[in-house]
Every structure is written in structure tokens, then in C-alpha cells.
Amino acid sequence: MPDYSVYRAKPNPIGKDKSKNNPIAKQLLGEWVDVRNTSQGVLNFANVSLAHVEYGPGCSNPKTKIYWSGNASIQLKPGQVLRVHTGKSNDAAQMASEDSAGADHHAYAESGAFILNNDCPDRPSLWRSVNKEWQELDGAEYSAKPTEGKILTRSGNRLV
Ligand SMILES: [Ca+2]
């Protein structure tokens, strides 16, 4: 296991995720990725970012895109979990208990739209910038059409 591990994800929160309506804050906070410290030491996120895969029409032309940039104030002790929510920090008080439980720290992509794919597969991945070069630390793919409301967990190289 890499030190920074993509550990769990809830890519398809219950609600209007598939509609063209504006998503509500609570649902955006219900879309998230958990990162776990699987090392024996303290990990920081000064230069560590989280990406996912964007596609063109029909799930063509996959491109890895960073959507949360690390924060030097976040430190994870061994075994601790950082949850990166799609939604906004200003809305954190609206978070459902299921979405606050199980994480030691919370971070926010500050997005007003859902990010993690439903109709195509996705692969949350962690990247570190070293001397202006991106190095992948870890990543785990899930299949298209994840069950609504399901928390996917890591199994080998996948989230299932
Ligand atoms: Ca989604």
C-alpha cells in the first residue's frame, strides 16, 4: 500500500445527482473521497492534490484532472482519514451525519457541481508536485453507474 491511500468514495449521493437541476449543498457534501494514511508517520498535504477522470462524449478521451489542491495545514497521523468533499466549506453545517462520520479531517473542493462520474467510470487519484513534475501517489477505479448512496471501499486497485 502506498502511504497516501485512496481508501473509500461516495461518488453518487442520494438525490438529484443525475438531473439538470442545481444540486443542493447537502448533496454536494455527500459526494466525497477518503484518503487514508497507511504509513507509520505523519503525512502532510502541502503538495498533494486529488484528481479524477474527465471524459468526452460517450466516455471517450479520458483525461486526469486535479480538482482539489492540497493544504499545508492538513496533517494525518497513522491510520487517520481525510475526507475531500465536492461541496463548499461554507455549507459544512448542512452535512449529513453519514458524511461527517468516519473521517478525522475534512477538506472541500468548493465546487457548485458534482465532480465524480456516475455514467462513466472514474478513478480518484492522488498526486504530488515535485520540482514541477506530477508524480502519482495512488489511485483506485470504480465502475460506471455506482449505486446511489453507496460508500465504495478499496479492494486491491479498485473501489467496489
Ligand atoms: Ca457523482
Write out pLDDT tens, residues 91-131: 999 999 999 999 999 999 999 999 999 999 999 999 998 88
Query: DSSP readout, 131-149?
Result: TTEEEEEEE-BB-SSPPTT
Write out pLDDT tens, residues 23-78: 889 999 999 999 999 999 999 999 999 999 999 999 999 999 999 999 899 999 99
For residue 72, the 8-state DSSP code is: T
CA–centroid distance, 80 to ligand 1, in Å, is 24
Task: Say yes or no to pLDDT of 21 above 80.
Answer: no
CA–centroid distance, 42 to ligand 1, in Å, is 30
Cα–Cα nearest to 68, from 27, 16, 108: 108
151 three-state secondary structure: coil
CA–centroid distance, 129 to ligand 1, in Å, is 26
Please report where in the chains the cell 466549506 appears, as a residue: 89
CA–centroid distance, 53 to ligand 1, in Å, is 12
Give me the sign of the Cα torsion angle 83, 107, 20, 52: negative
CA–centroid distance, 51 to ligand 1, in Å, is 14
Alpha-carbon span 67 to 86, nearest angstrom: 9
CA–centroid distance, 35 to ligand 1, in Å, is 18
